[in-house]
Amino acid sequence: MEGEPTLRLRVFDLNCWAIRYLSKRRQERVRLIGDTLCQEGFDLVLLQEVWSEQDYSDLKVKLASCYPFSHYFRSGVIGSGLCVFSRFPILDTLLYQYSLNGYPYMLQHGDWFGGKSVGLVIMKISGIIFNVYITHLHAEYCRDKDSYLPHRLVQAWELAQFIRHTSKAADVVLLGGDLNMHPEDVGIRLLCGWTGLQDAFVEATDIKGCKNGCTLVPNNCFTDKSELLPFPLGIRIDYILYKAISSFTVKCEELKTTMGPAPGTDIPFSDHEAVMATLHIQRQGQPVGATLGTADPALADVVTEARTEVGVGLRAAQRQRYSSGRMAVLALLLLLLQAVAALGTLAGLGADQPFPKLSFCLLAFLALGVLVLATGLHLFHTMEVKMLHGTEDQMWMALRALQERPSEG
C-alpha cells in the first residue's frame, strides 16, 4: 500500500449513551452497534459514553475479527467513556484530562464524575501518520442560561492547544466526538480557527441522513423532546473534523448520519445519531503549509469573544470562592462560640439553668458539617479560579501572537 496515491478512509463516530442502570435498553443497543459495525466494516470507529468497561470488553470480543485494534481511555471516577476501534494498528496513545469539567456537587449533571478528556491515538496507514483525537465535552443543560459555558470553553481551548502541540509530526489530523456545541457557537469557531481543523459536514460533497447533519433529532425515540422544542429539525453537536498537515490533502467525499431506528429494528443506536464520513487522503507534490493564518483577523475576534466568556466564568467562580470561604469562617465562628459556651458550663457558670445538650449537639454537628462542606467548596472554587485565570492568560498570549505575527501559524 506504501506510496498509493489515494487512501479512502471510512470513519464512524457515535455517542453511545451507554450508562449502566440509567440508559434505556443499553445492552440491546450495544449489541446492535457491535453487529452494525461488523457488517459495515468501517476503518475507524470512535465511540463516546461507553461508560462500562464491560460493554467495551464485549464490543472488543465481538469486533476482534473486523477491528483487531482498539483502545479504551480510563479516567475520572466512572471512566472517560471514550474508546477507539480500528482496522489498523494503534502505535501509541495519550490521554489529556480537561482541567475543568463541571462541579462534583451537581449530581444531577454527572459530567464531573466522567473525567472528561481528549484521547489521542496514533496510527500509520499506508505510510501516512494519523493523529486521531476523540473527545466528549461538557454537556449544555440550558442553552439560554448556560452556566457551564466557561468550562466548555476552557475544554475547547485545551482541546485545541493539545491538538496543536501533539500533532506536529502527523500527516493527517482527525477529531471525532460529541462537542456539545452548535456549529455557530464560539467554542467551535475557536477550535477550528485555532487548530485549522475543517468540518467534514461543511466540506462534504455528498450529504445523507438528517437535515443539516443534525445528530440530536426529535425523531429519535430516546431524545428529550422538550429540550429540542426551539430546534424542530434537531441540533448538530457531534462532529468529524480533519486537516492535513504536511504534504497531504484530505477531502470529505460523503457525510452521512443515521436517522432514528437502525435498519431492521425498532430502536436507534443511541439518543444521538451516528456520524459517518468517507475521507479521501491524497499525497501532494509539495507541503501545503500551516492552514492557520488564513482568517487571522476573524480568529483574533473569536479568541477575544471566548476570552470574554471565560472572564465571566472567572468572576462567577471568584464570587463562589468568596461566599464558600465566608460560610466556612461563619461555621468556624459558631463552633468556637459553642466551645466557649460548653467550657463556661463545665466551669459551673449558669449552673442554675438546664443545659440543652441535645440542641447543642445538633447545632455543633450542623456547624461542623457546614464547615467541612464549605471548606471543600472553597478549595474547589479556588482551583476553578486558577484554571479559568490560566486559560485567560493563555488566550491573551495567543492574541498577542496573532497580532504580532499575523501570517504565521
Residue 108 binds a second copy (CB under 8 A): no
Neighbours of 372 (CB within 10 A): 12
Q: Which is nearer to a second copy, 91 or 233 (CB)?
A: 91
Contact 94, 80 (CB under 8 A): no
Neighbours of 337 (CB within 10 A): 12
136 an active-site residue? no
Residue 387 binds a second copy (CB under 8 A): yes
Among 390, 396, 403, 406, binds a second copy (CB under 8 A): 390
User: Which residue stretch of 11-19, 21-29, 249-257, 386-394 sits at the interface with a second copy (rule: CB under 8 A)?
Assistant: 386-394
Contact 269, 276 (CB under 8 A): no
User: Which residue stretch of 60-68, 308-316, 322-330, 388-396 sits at the interface with a second copy (rule: CB under 8 A)?
Assistant: 388-396
Binders of a second copy among residues 110 to 169 (CB under 8 A) are: 113, 115, 120, 161-162, 164-166, 168-169
Q: How far apart are the C-alpha atoms of 132 and 73, rounded to whole Å?
A: 13
Compute the least distance from the CB of residue 5 to a second copy, in Å.
Answer: 25
- Beta-carbon contacts of residue 272 (< 8 Å; ≥ 6 apart): 14, 15, 17, 178, 215, 216, 220, 237, 238
Residue 313 binds a second copy (CB under 8 A): no
x/- mask, a second copy, residues 69-98, rule CB under 8 A, reads ----xxxxxxx----------xxxxxxxx-
User: Which residue stretch of 16-24, 135-143, 291-299, 377-385 sits at the interface with a second copy (rule: CB under 8 A)?
Assistant: 377-385
Residue 206 binds a second copy (CB under 8 A): no
Residue 335 binds a second copy (CB under 8 A): no
Residue 288 binds a second copy (CB under 8 A): no
Pick from 223, 240, 241, 242: which is nearest to 232 by CA? 223
Contact 46, 11 (CB under 8 A): yes
Among 61, 202, 340, 401, binds a second copy (CB under 8 A): 401
Compute the least distance from the CB of residue 357 to a second copy, in Å.
Answer: 5
Q: How far apart are the C-alpha atoms of 50 and 80, rounded to whole Å?
A: 8
Q: Which is nearer to a second copy, 90 or 330 (CB)?
A: 90
Q: Which is nearer to a second copy, 251 or 389 (CB)?
A: 389
Catalytic residue among 138, 272, 378, 381: 272
Which of the residues are catalytic?
272
Task: Point out which residues bind a second copy (CB under 8 A).
Answer: 73-79, 90-97, 99, 113, 115, 120, 161-162, 164-166, 168-169, 357-358, 361-362, 365, 368-369, 372, 379, 382-383, 386-387, 389-390, 393-394, 397-398, 401
